[in-house]
Amino acid sequence: MQTNQVPARRRNPALQQGILFGVIFGIIILINDLLGDFSGLGATAGIISILLFLVELFLYAAAGFRASAQTGRVGTGTLAGIFAGLIGGIVGLIATIIIAFTATNLLLQRAQATANALHIHIIYTSTMIISSAFVSAILGLALAVGLGAAFGAIGGAIGRSRAPQSQAPYQEQFYQGMPAAPTNPANPYNQPYTPNGQGYPPNQTYPQSEQVYPQNPEYAPNNQENPYLYNQQPEPNPTNPTNPSNPYDQGNPPQPPSSNSY
């Protein structure tokens, strides 16, 4: 008894790996923003930001590697990197906007102090801080998607060689019997001869004329000049009038009966 197997739900490896590494990427961006805005570490925070940026690039490549290892296609890894960059960029955009609204005064003081140290004659306002936060968040999102596509493709090119080889599903077949012999097998040597590349002319039919043979003339029964008359009757013998039908009877008289009779 054959049971019907219900196929499992088809998964999308690009979306799965993109969500997984995108969440990790978003957490790293959030940590980077908090260290850069509230830690006050200065140069140390910049070094940490560079290291976290390198980790982000590695995550893009890892997402593409894992996705392409399941399908064997580079495009799957590229999509995984795009999804990872998109999710991480959205997390970073939200985190940047929240920090800009909650720590506006702190960000304003640091920006003004940096401008004064560089001898830049500019006065920052809260609107400028919030606007610059929006612009940097959008640019960060676009940069994350672009880097995710590039490094996801690199990881996909490496991971596609690890994809499992697909095997055709086995299908049960009933015995079909021996194949029938071909009725007219192709024989390259059994070809009709065609002189000068032309076929034989069709058979010509010639008109048949009816021959009329002359009929034998009618002759009298006693006409000896007819060579075609085979049933001629012999002439009667005048010497033997008693038996005219016997031409060999020469008229010998009948013999008397023998005296020696039984």
Domain that holds residue 96: 13-162
3-state SS, one letter per residue, for 118-158: CCCCCCCCHHHHHHHHHHHHHHHHHHHHHHHHHHHHHHHHH
pLDDT tens by residue, the chain, 262 residues: 444 443 444 578 889 998 999 899 888 888 887 776 666 666 677 788 888 889 989 999 999 999 998 888 888 999 999 999 999 989 988 988 888 888 888 888 888 887 888 888 888 888 888 888 889 889 989 999 999 999 999 999 998 888 776 655 545 555 566 666 666 555 555 555 555 545 556 666 656 656 655 665 555 555 555 555 555 555 555 555 555 555 555 555 555 555 554 4
Q: Report if residue 64 sits inside a domain.
A: yes
Task: Tally the residues of the chain.
Answer: 262
Q: Report if residue 255 sits inside a domain.
A: no
Cβ pair 232, 221 in contact under 8 A: yes
What is the number of domains present in the chain? 1
Q: Report if residue 103 sits inside a domain.
A: yes
